[in-house]
Amino acid sequence: MKLDLPNVPASALARRVVKTLRARGHVAWLAGGCVRDLLLGRTPKDYDVATDARPEEVEAAFEKSIPVGKSFGVITVQGEVDGVQVEVATFRHDGPYSDGRHPDSVRFTDAQEDAARRDFTINALYLDPESGEVIDYVNGVQDLKARLVRAVGDPAVRFAEDKLRLLRAIRFACALNFELDDATFAALKRMAPQVVVCSAERIREELHRMLTSPGRSRALRLMQEAGLLNALLPEVAALADRASPGPARNLLARALMTLDALANPSLSLAWSALLADAGEEAAAATLRRLKCSNELASRVRDIVSDVPRLAGLEHLGQAALKRLLRRPHVDEWLELARARSLDQGADPAQVRLALTRLAAFRAQGPQSLWPKLPLSGDDLKALGLPPGPRYRELLSALEDEMLEGRVGTREGALAFVKSRMDA
Ligand code: ATP
Ligand code: MG
């Protein structure tokens, strides 16, 4: 099997690293995710090299390197180009896992044992970038062809060692659109409740990768089936017991339908779709438990709480409408509403109206939604108004007039303010 590597700086660096290590008498291959992706014709996210060279030997072989995980044999080699790097890992065997997440110790070994400590067969392949030969100790090529995520070795043992693998299994199945091998999925279901030993940060990272992947609703369905949803997102799991007003079977089905209908969702949008019917408190609790940033949490809260504001949009005056449509999360809000309208979570006619009006205002230029006030506090002072809260009220009323299109010039603005001061 001859494979052409993409012509990018990272793959060139990976090739060079392999060559250099070999010239020094070591075994060195591409390993893990990049091999899987190359064999599938996908673009690898990054390149990893596995070698029998010890970390000190790797460091000695390259100009620029960082000992990111030297104790367990991982050195990052940096390329000439800024930011281009390759992780070089010494073949290792992982010792016992007592915390359910990390090995207590590691021992350096050969490629075959290194393959055996990897999580899934499709992630345990090596590739010789010079000959194109694939080195496969675990029947990973067969599983790639059959499109199966299968644990290396006994799945129950592998999940017991590191509980993050429970989520990784589902993430890979969904990102690659693979099935889960039966025995792997059976073990996954049995072990699901133990996923909670993983740190909130790692769980969050896995969930975020699932939520923004094209297989996102399938990932959540698999999590539900496996019991992971109940363990990690009980607020979302509970939606399955509540009826949906629309064609979806229940509120979880509606959330997943909405999630799939979003075009390239941001994280805040994906979470909003999932949590919109869970209630504000439950949504906040979910994101807090996963240690999501305050920025993400408040964005989700704003998007979700604005969904009902779509009703009655046509009765708003122009200034109120514009103020609504210039909120920072307006595009996400309307995209959520559009997606929810498929299951009666929003009125499609109102969504269309809002989108049309927003597009029209934007086409008029920035002044339409954000008029520049031709008056300042100094002008009000010059008119004899003593400084105080009245200033803000007047300027805000003036902004309304401008948003309505009734005032456009400094003269008009002065006339408006004077008339208000007289009144
Ligand atoms: P991607 O980077 O696209 O998410 P990947 O397969 O490269 O996928 P990484 O997390 O970058 O995943 O890990 C690189 C390799 O290290 C994996 O392919 C796998 O062989 C191994 N690996 C990573 N995490 C684990 C783990 N928790 N348990 C066992 N092996 C792992
Ligand atoms: Mg990777």
User: What is the helix (H) or strand (E) element at residue 275, kind and residue range?
Assistant: helix 267-275
Question: Which residue has a Cα nearest atom 7 of ligand 1?
Answer: 33
Domain boundary among 146, 163, 178: 146
Residues making up the chain, counted from first to last: 423
185/4 Cα distance (integer angstroms): 34
How far does residue 155's CA lie from ligand 2's centre (Å)?
21
How far apart, in whole angstroms, are the C-alpha atoms of residue 196 and residue 289? 11
Per-residue pLDDT at 219: 98
Any idea what the CATH number is for the domain that residue 217 is in? 1.10.110.30
> 203 C-alpha vs ligand 1 centroid, how far in Å?
15
222 and 254 co-located in one domain: no
Do 86 and 77 form a contact (C-beta atoms < 8 A)?
Answer: yes
Asked if residue 318 and residue 285 are part of one domain, the reply reads yes
Last residue of a domain, one of 123, 146, 169: 146
Q: Is 353 in the same domain as 403?
A: no
Q: Do 248 and 309 reside in the same domain of the chain?
A: yes
Q: Cα 330–333–336 angle (5° rounding)?
A: 150
Q: Is residue 294 located within the same domain as residue 183?
A: no
CB within 8 Å of 209: residues ≥ 6 apart: 171, 175
* Domain-ending residue, one of 146, 165, 195: 146
Question: Do both 401 and 283 map to the same domain?
Answer: no
Do 123 and 207 have their domain in common?
Answer: no
* Same-domain status, 128 and 152: no
* Full 3-state SS string of 351-390: HHHHHHHHHHHHHCCHHHHCCCCCCCHHHHHHCCCCCCHH
Mutating to test ligand 1, I would choose from 40, 113, 119 the residue with most ligand atoms within 8 A of its C-beta, which is 119
If you measure from the C-alpha of residue 32 to the centroid of ligand 1, how many angstroms do you get, rounded to a whole number? 6
Residues with CB under 6 Å of ligand 1 are 32-33, 45, 48, 118-119, 123-124, 162, 164-165
Q: Which two tokens stand for residue 82?
A: 């800024």
Amino acid identity of 140?
A: G
Residue 87 alpha carbon to ligand 2 centre in Å: 9
* Same domain as 104, residue 56: yes
Residue whose CA is closest, atom 4 of ligand 1?
33
Q: Domain with 43 in it: what CATH number?
A: 3.30.460.10
| Region for residue 153 given its phi and psi (left: phi exceeds 0; alpha: psi -120 to 50; beta: otherwise) | left
Judgement on whether residues 141 and 269 belong to the same structural domain of the protein = no
Q: Is the same domain home to 381 and 356? A: no
Tell whether 76 and 217 lie within a shared domain: no
Ranges of residues in the chain whose predicted pLDDT is under 70: 1-2
- Number of domains the chain contains: 4
Does the pTM of the predicted model rise above 0.85?
yes
Q: Which ligand is nearest to the CA of 43?
A: 1
Residue 82 belongs to domain spanning:
1-146
